[in-house]
Structure 1
């Protein structure tokens, strides 16, 4: 007894070392473990992290997860140790049935980067099942005097274990009339047969009780038993004999129900009732076969009554019995083996091993998006699967191993063109005809800040009336961004620049959310006519992108300045203007001239003169455009010596602005040549006045020459560029002339009613500039003079009054120079 125990211990140690060796073995880089079935939960299978070359920290960082193709999770990964352990009871017989090899494929998925590892766990059979007979007792009826050596097939025992643990031998209880022989069949199958060793004598023993025992090859050996009751019958000499003891039939699995697959046939040498045969399935035929096959008892035709499935069972073995109707009944036996031929009746399946990851639109080529596997339950060419990706997608399939693929990027991605792809993958087998299936994998594209905001216009022109309300909206610029989310959120700002030496932010401010530009105060056209605003639109991406635009604000003139009288000088100083006139003056005699200017521009600066009140309205008239006061008739002795004129000066604006001046004229006797005296006075000016006049003449000559040269240059340029430029007088290089001082020269020939003038502008409009204006009056050509004027709200006219006083009688030309500060 002690020796037996020691021997068994030695065998268990040998098995343990064998298991240990197989447990750590890997084949061709593919990790394989081998464990017996029925292990307890938590049993260590192997150090998965070490075998895959992963550190313990990578198990958490790369989100290692386990996927089983068997459906149930028989294993799990100990995240703390990186070990593969048993998670649930493994029953090899339930998992793999009678298959000689039982391998569980597992998939290990790791992220960042996305990788797939395949491992295999071989489940070894243990002797945990005993041989079982389908019936506890088998009855045989054998006629007496049956020939010695006659054989009667007995029921085979079934053992769910495989290999050495399956049924290996049978034993029969001792009986002198019977013995047991084992018949070897294909597939290493063994069928017990009862052999008559001695003639039976019913009179001596009518019933024989036998015990059939089946033994497996496990350690320890397990057994199963069944009873055999042999009833000895009176003589029915001949047993039915089949023409073939073994029938081999090959059919396709798609044969329809009702079709006859084979016909068994037996004969009996007896006559009459003893020779009539009835066919039947053996008593131990399982119900699964009875639901598929039908045996006609009279003809021996075996037909189909249920569906065949090659994938479930590739072969069926049927035991047939032929009994005669004699007394006692005699029976013969045969076996029918039905082999199925696979047809392509299973479409391939596509399985997502991992859910598709969203992909950044700047992802490099070859970035793994998802892991895919394909399988087909058919065999041979019917089970060979080919995956194909629909055209037009920037993705491709990269083969991995054993019908596993990685879906990777193969081209440039642009979320603005396609924010999501529905990738269609088709799996097709190699059967005839081929079967296919499709799957659609949605892949989202993550936005990257690769588009800068774009304004609706490259630049904006805004026209704003002067004297507006501070805080009113000037304009709203708008930009759009093709990106998404934070990358498309836009904020607006004004870039710092100078306007007349002051930061533009003191003039306007912008709403950063909607791009609305507001004024900080009202604008005065006479001080500021145009200024640019540089607006920037910036998105919220990282890094942020931006673009700029320019808003040109043009101030529109309003009639907000009344005409200002600059002559007579006494009117400028706020008192009456006193003039003298001889009573002998003729009709049309020039008495005086009223001169006024308006700080506005255009129509708002057009001035007209009107005699509003007069002591004698029939004696004097005022020129509507020049302001000259002349006599309408000759003075008489009856006319009052003191004449008072109220002259109203109006501009052409809307609403109209006006001013008045009062002129007092004294009629005197003895003033024969007032004009000559005035001319004499003009001819004998003071030294200072003469010097100023000389300066004015030289300035006018210089400006005239400069204007003529500039006009000729602009005319030549306009003629050369007329084909490519819509305007020649205001051609602008990159729209930035206002930034280049002393390079802006403009000649304008304007007509304000009967008054004609040429205006020459030089320098930067936004900085200090010079402006010269030459006015041509429709006065009589017999007089001419030049007058320097500074039309500004702060102009001090006292410096030029003396010049005007000296030059008034001969005035036909007016030259105007303006210094803007």
Structure 2
């Protein structure tokens, strides 16, 4: 077998490096180093970044590399430039771990992005830096000259703060002819050192002896300590007290009350009288802690508790007891009392919580580390075994990472909109009976992410706006709510641009980005645009932004801005506002001689027309009248010779708007005898008579048709009104009140317009004819005379009027 023997300091360092690598590989995933105590500042310990697999460039800024050492101050430090772990301040193993066989510094290396926690143990190696120390530099011994050969005299051994070979002591007594040194061989060194008398003493020859006891440890280099033994040779009393046992072992519960009996010692002396009267006491070199914790009765030899007994401070007491008789000179006996302190559960666990972040994103992945928790318990055995638990019903859990170290990690998904922060309670409970516990509070704030789009209260809004509104008029306000927070909830509004006919939507309306107010940029014209349907988009300021749309239906309400327009009569002699007709003088009362036709580009009441005859010049009563809603001119009586052969009638056409707009039609009537009518006129009258007869023939069929069409129309109107009432429309700032139902005359007149209008919806549909139907009623302000005229019309020619209106309806539907 080959044995490697280092030849110099460099070889020793190489061997130490190999041992460190081997120890690191055997650490079950942990990094282990070792460093000798009392190493100078800057002493190399290990390449911690390299051994943990971390790049030097990401130590400080990208991943925020940091090292935590619980209760160890700044003994070790990492050079972030080269990733080397080095000694930062003096390391005293004895101060750090006492005489514990194992001594190590536990480091937690924490890096972010992603969060990782590494555990590093640095073993502190002992060096021989403490010499053996005797309890006292001088010890006085009084030995009678009558003591028999091979008598033993106990001595207090030296103490070495080092461990292992560095604390392995050897003793040597200075050369003399009387005494030899007996060293115990057991490892506990329970028995004291003893001087053994090898030659009888003679006080007359040598009354005092000075010996030097030297202790040497096993370190390299070795250190020594000495004490002087001053021996006084006494005469007479030749029997020393003797204890029944040289070593007494006792168990004592910690926190025992003062006065609790520990042990009663017993020593005997073969002498008689005062030479056999024994007094008990602690050895002269006993520590002050012993005298503060225990009391020995000098007469009875009882040792009782006299102070605080704490297992966590001292687990084993070693008492040196002397028994001295009252002889002259006195003689001494010695024994050792070993008191083992038994632990009781008198220390609650201690929790230390290290939070790694102030808040946790609500979309953090499962297993994200929130905080590091360490727990300690100063008790031993089951009293020091600690289990940790977390307040239930929270989306977190505790994961044990190393010995008494835990990580608080995310166990289920978070939602800031449901719970914005959590108050967690970590409970540590030991295994004692009864058990003790400690709690620590951890506050976890959930950080918002943009996971909620803005939402509107409704998917669609209906807005009514009067036409001819002023430019820039505020017509509606949209509002969306975002459940997120801060900039993720900051909503801005914009139009979803599209084409309205040949123009862009943005030329009609605009929306304020912050307030959501919708403005009409130009006056709207009901005759051009009845319905403007568009979408407004709401988008938040998150990254990435989220958004949603809402639909606005803007109905443009009609105003009375169009006057009635006269239509030319087919086959009439005039055009526009003048109509010429020939009238037979032989016609009777109620005969229709002409009809005035007019339309209005408006709708509703604004397009509901009425006709009235203006009074003739001079106040003469005219033999003609005009129907209020049909515009038919008929005779009020039979014509006679006194009537002027040329009649000039002015018909005023008025709508029902506010204010009302009017138009005037001039009707020229020529009264002729039956033999004077021109051929052309005869043909016209004959054609009119034939058409009237044809209309009378189909009267029955048309009545049936109008009933069917009217029923369908009424059903459609009722359905439309029901739908509109079930969802009341909202109004804009410029909108009027609720639309008013419009009625027509008692004859069921139909007013229609052939003007082509464009209806703008979500899709570009073809233009439709504006058809308006009115149910019979009497308009406000109509005179009683008009009502009488209407009754005459109905009595004389109801069927003809109905047929004419049906034809108008059919034309409108076509």
Q: TM-score, normalised by structure 1?
A: 0.79
1:505: how far off?
1.6
Aligned to 1:24: 21
Gaps of 5+ in 2: 728-740, 761-765, 777-789
Q: Which residue of 2 aligns with 1:393?
A: 394
TM-superposition CA deviations, 1:77-120 (whole Å, max 9, x none): 22233222212111111111112222222232333332232232
Separation of aligned partners in 2, 1:325 and 1:775: 143
Q: What is the aligned partner in structure 1 of residue 785 from structure 2? A: none
Partner of 2:499: 498
Q: What secondary structure, in the 3-state scheme, does the structure 2 residue paired with 1:765 have?
A: coil
Q: Shift in Å at residue 546 of structure 1?
A: 2.3
**Following the alignment from structure 1 to structure 2, what is the Cα–Cα distance between the partners of residues 588 and 474?**
53
Residues 486-495 or 395-404, more deviating: 395-404
1 CA distance for matches of 2:32 and 2:298? Answer: 53
Indicate the residue corresponding to 2:786 in structure 1.
none
Q: 1 or 2 for the larger relative contact order (CA 8 Å, sep ≥6)?
A: 2
Give how far 1:552 is off: 0.5
Q: Structure 1, residues 359-417: CA drift from partner, whole Å, max 9, x if none?
A: 44334433444444443333323333333343323333444343444443333333322
1:45 aligned residue: 45
* Counterpart position of 2:413: 412
Report the counterpart of residue 166 of structure 1 in structure 2.
167
The separation in 1 between residues aligned to 2:532 and 2:568, in whole angstroms, is 35
Q: CA deviation at 1:419?
A: 3.3
Going from structure 1 to structure 2, the CA distance change for 1:77 and 1:773 (only over 3 Å counts) comes to: closer
Partner of 2:296: 295
Q: Distance in 1 between matches of 2:404 and 2:48?
A: 23
User: CA separation of 1:15/1:224 partners in 2, compared to 1, >3 Å: closer, same or farther?
Assistant: farther
Q: Is the Cα–Cα contact under 8 Å of residues 582 and 681 in structure 2 kept in the other structure?
A: no
Equivalent-residue separation in structure 1 for 2:296 and 2:468 (angstroms): 112
State the SS of the aligned residue for 1:400.
strand
Higher mean C-alpha displacement, 491-500 vs 760-769:
760-769
Q: Which of residues 618, 621, 624 in structure 2 aligns to 1:619?
A: 621
Q: Which residue of 2 aligns with 1:599?
A: 601
Q: Deviations over 1:461-512 (max 9, x none)?
A: 1111122111011111111222334333322221223334432221101112
* CA distance, structure 2, for counterparts of residue 706 and residue 763 of structure 1: 26
- State the secondary structure of the residue aligned to 1:122: strand
**CA separation of 1:198/1:657 partners in 2, compared to 1, >3 Å: closer, same or farther?**
same
Q: Within 5 A, what are the aligned runs for 1:577-726?
A: 595-610=597-612, 614-615=616-617, 619-620=621-622, 623-627=627-631, 649-653=653-657, 655-659=658-662, 661=664, 680=682, 682-683=684-685
* Correspondences of 1:479-628 after superposition (within 5 Å): 479-566=480-567, 595-610=597-612, 614-615=616-617, 619-620=621-622, 623-627=627-631
Alignment deviations for residues 237-265 of structure 1 (CA, whole Å, 9 cap, x no partner): 43233232221111222323332222223
Q: 1:150 Cα shift? A: 2.8
- Could you tell me how far apart the structure 1 residues matched to 2:446 and 2:157 are? 64
* Other-structure match for 2:732: none
Cα gap change, 1:678/1:269 in structure 2, threshold over 3 Å: closer, same or farther? Answer: farther
- How far does residue 519 in structure 1 lie from its aligned partner after superposition? 0.2
Distance 1:268 1:676 in 2: 180
- Looking at structure 2, the residues matched to 125 and 565 of structure 1 have their Cα atoms a distance apart, in angstroms, of 121
Supply the distance in 1 between the matched residues of 2:103 and 2:144 (Cα, whole angstroms): 48
Map 1:309-388 to 2 at 5 A: 309-352=310-353, 355-356=356-357, 358-388=359-389
Label 1:271 to 1:665 Cα distance change in 2 as closer, same or farther (>3 A): same
Residue of structure 2 in register with 1:754 after alignment:
746
Give me the TM-score of the superposition, normalised by structure 2. 0.80
Bigger shift: residues 384-393 or 151-160 = 384-393
CA distance in 2, matches of 1:201, 1:221: 38
Equivalent residue for 1:441?
A: 442
Cα offsets for 1:559-603 (capped at 9, x unmatched): 33344455799998578x788989998766767655544332222
Alignment match, 2:34? 34
SS of residue matched to 2:347: coil
Aligned to 1:769: 768
Cα drift, residue 163 of structure 1: 1.9
1:769–1:731 Cα change, 3 Å = farther
Native 8 Å contact 2:253 2:344 kept in 1: yes
Report deviation, 1:535.
Answer: 1.6
- Cα distance in 1 for partners of 2:489, 2:338 equals 73
Q: 5+ residue gaps in structure 1?
A: 1-7, 733-748, 787-807
Bigger drift between 492-501 and 270-279 goes to 270-279
* Superposition map of 1:118-137 within 5 A: 118-137=119-138
> How far 1:224 sits from its partner (Å)?
1.8
CA 1:150–1:136 in 2, change beyond 3 Å: closer, same or farther? same
Tell me, in whole angstroms, the C-alpha distance in 2 between the residues paired with 1:506 and 1:707.
Answer: 46
Q: Where do 1:80-95 residues align within 5 Å?
A: 80-95=81-96
User: Which residues of 2 match residues 143-182 of structure 1 at below 5 A?
Assistant: 143-166=144-167, 168-182=169-183
Q: What is the root-mean-square deviation in Å for CA atoms of aligned residues?
A: 4.7
Inter-CA distance 111–658: structure 2 relative to 1 (3 Å threshold):
closer
Say whether the 8 Å CA contact 1:172–1:212 is kept in structure 2.
yes
Change beyond 3 A, Cα 1:481–1:173: same
C-alpha separation in 2, matches of 1:406 and 1:674: 120
